[in-house]
Amino acid sequence: IPVLGKEEDAVDNFATIILLNYIENGDDVAISAADMFAFESQSEELPDYYEMGDYADEHSFDLQRYFSTLCLVYGSNPEKYQYLLDEVEDDYLENRKDFCVSNFDLINENWHQYLSVKQ
């Protein structure tokens, strides 16, 4: 599969799309995965700053993965999941809501388009 970006982030997106579309209660699993990323980002072992190697990692920081996963879940059904973006500051909230809906639509469509192509 050609990946134009960080592979681990693409896998996060793929897993979230599969959970949301094909797994019963997959939304709960995706939200739990996001919560795990948030928990890992609060680890007391992490320094207040990142070292150079952290920026060269194969995936985004855990807190970014947290918000990215919640964004996909929100975008899949904004009415049901309106509470998921409660942590976003008011100045950014409307833009983030719009982004999450369009981002879900794009990623969902792209994965389905790719997987439906016979190789």
Per-residue confidence band for 36, with pLDDT thresholds at 50, 70 and 90:
very high
In a domain, 75, yes or no: yes
Give the per-residue pLDDT at 50. Answer: 66
The residue segments making up the domain with residue 22 are 7-116
Looking at the domain assignment, is residue 13 inside a domain? yes
Q: What are phi and psi of 63, to 5 degrees?
A: -65, -35
Q: Which one has a higher pLDDT value, 94 or 6?
A: 94
Q: Is residue 84 part of a domain?
A: yes
In the chain, the number of structural domains is 1
Task: Please name the residue ranges forming H helices in 6-119.
Answer: 7-22, 26-41, 52-55, 62-76, 90-116
Q: What is the mean pLDDT of residues 28-50?
A: 81
Tell me the whole-structure pTM to 2 decimals. Answer: 0.85
Is there a domain that residue 2 lies in?
no
Q: What is the CA radius of gyration of the chain?
A: 15
CB-CB neighbours of 104 under 10 Å: 22
Q: Would 76 be classed as within a structural domain?
A: yes
Check pLDDT > 50 for residue 119: no
In a domain, 1, yes or no: no
